[in-house]
Amino acid sequence: MTAPEGRGIAGYDTTFRILHVSTGNVCRSPITERLTRHALGQRLGDGLCRGLIVESAGTWGHEGAPMETNAEQVLADFGADHSGFVGRELLDEHVIRADLVLTATRDHRAQVISMGHSAGLRTFTLKEFTRLVRAIDPATLPDPRDGVVERARSLVRAAAALRGWLLAPSAEADEVNDPYGAPITVFRSIGDEIQEALDPVVTALTGVGAPR
């Protein structure tokens, strides 16, 4: 299975697909998609991200639209690539083939799960998944040197098992607010928020900490 052109990091017979979901697929999920890809490339090297595919879509996605200019600027601030991005609406096929779905809000999570396809155990809000990942002992996961795909699958199973035990301190704690139409300062704040949430996730996936 290969990624749609311009989307995935790599296409291999053995793959692990991460799907980021927001509303319009022009602000939050594009930022999260490209920051994830950038972080994986930094940790593993672009040629070593074997089988990891990172995509995004929107529950009310602007099909064929570019990402917001302010979202592009946020990615540039982090040194991440925004080129070639095209927005798309969330479809059943995206959920079916995703191994991990990370949403911006609880409402997005509910919408993904309502589509069926046994998505409940692999769909989390981004911040929810970060909270759960922080509680997982890395020593209980497969060695990334033996392959990041199996490690990623084990990470999702471990996070799903913890979900009922580690509750959010508040309902809003698992949300990433929508910056659509806001000034660049708001976009940068959301970008920092997403980056902070992604860091422990990418570390857990790869077994490699962020470069200093």
DSSP symbols for 169-193: SSGGGG-----TT--HHHHHHHHHH
Write phi, then psi, for 105 (nearest 5 degrees). Answer: -135, 170
Higher pLDDT, 51 or 114: 114
Write phi, then psi, for 159 (nearest 5 degrees). Answer: -65, -40
- pLDDT of amino acid 65: 95
- pLDDT of amino acid 30: 98
Confidence of residue 49 (pLDDT cuts 50, 70, 90): low
Confidence of residue 50 (pLDDT cuts 50, 70, 90): low
Among 125, 17, 35, which residue's Cα sits nearest to residue 72?
A: 35
- pLDDT of amino acid 4: 39
What CA dihedral angle connects 53, 119, 26 and 200, to 10 degrees?
-60
Helix axes 126-134, 184-206, angle to 10 degrees: 40
H-helix or E-strand spanning residue 46: none
